[in-house]
């Protein structure tokens, strides 16, 4: 079940999408300010700033989503080691995981 978990891929996609939107906005502002105030600045400087903004934003968003991914993995481990404790605390999650594990065995 852990191998079929898509939380890592979703975190990556959300991080990439949000970072791309931030970079597009940042790029538009940089190009507008460059044309208005400093027309001598080259396109390579704007590109480097946009690439750095993407890397920093992606890293930050992926790091923020890490506790969510870790908690999902912890639920899987809890189900594998102590299924009855999970059935008492969170019966809906327990039944869902039990049904998923039964379908994987067949």
| Residue-wise pLDDT tens digits, 74-106 | 888 888 888 888 888 888 988 888 888 887 666
Tell me which residue has tokens 């001598």: 40
CA distances, 84 to each of 24, 91, 92, 105 (Å): 49, 9, 13, 19
Q: Quote the pLDDT of residue 3.
A: 64
Give first-to-last CA distance, the chain, whole Å: 13
The answer to whether 94 and 79 are in contact (CB under 8 A) is yes
pTM assigned to the model: 0.70
Any idea where the domains of the chain sit in the sequence? Answer: 1-64, 67-106
Answer whether 91's CB lies under 8 Å from 98's CB: no
φ/ψ bin of 47: left (φ > 0), alpha (ψ from -120 to 50), beta (otherwise): alpha
According to the model, what pLDDT value does residue 59 have? 94
């Amino acid at each position: 079940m852990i191998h079929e978990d898509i939380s890592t891929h979703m975190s990556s996609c959300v991080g990439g999408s949000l970072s791309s939107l931030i970079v597009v906005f940042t790029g538009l502002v940089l190009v507008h300010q460059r044309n208005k105030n400093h027309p001598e600045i080259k396109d390579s400087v704007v590109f480097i700033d946009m690439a750095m903004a993407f890397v920093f934003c992606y890293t930050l968003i992926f790091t923020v989503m890490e506790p969510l991914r870790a908690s999902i993995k912890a639920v899987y481990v809890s189900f594998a080691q102590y299924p009855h404790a999970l059935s008492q605390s969170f019966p809906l999650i327990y039944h869902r995981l039990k049904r998923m594990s039964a379908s994987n065995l067949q």
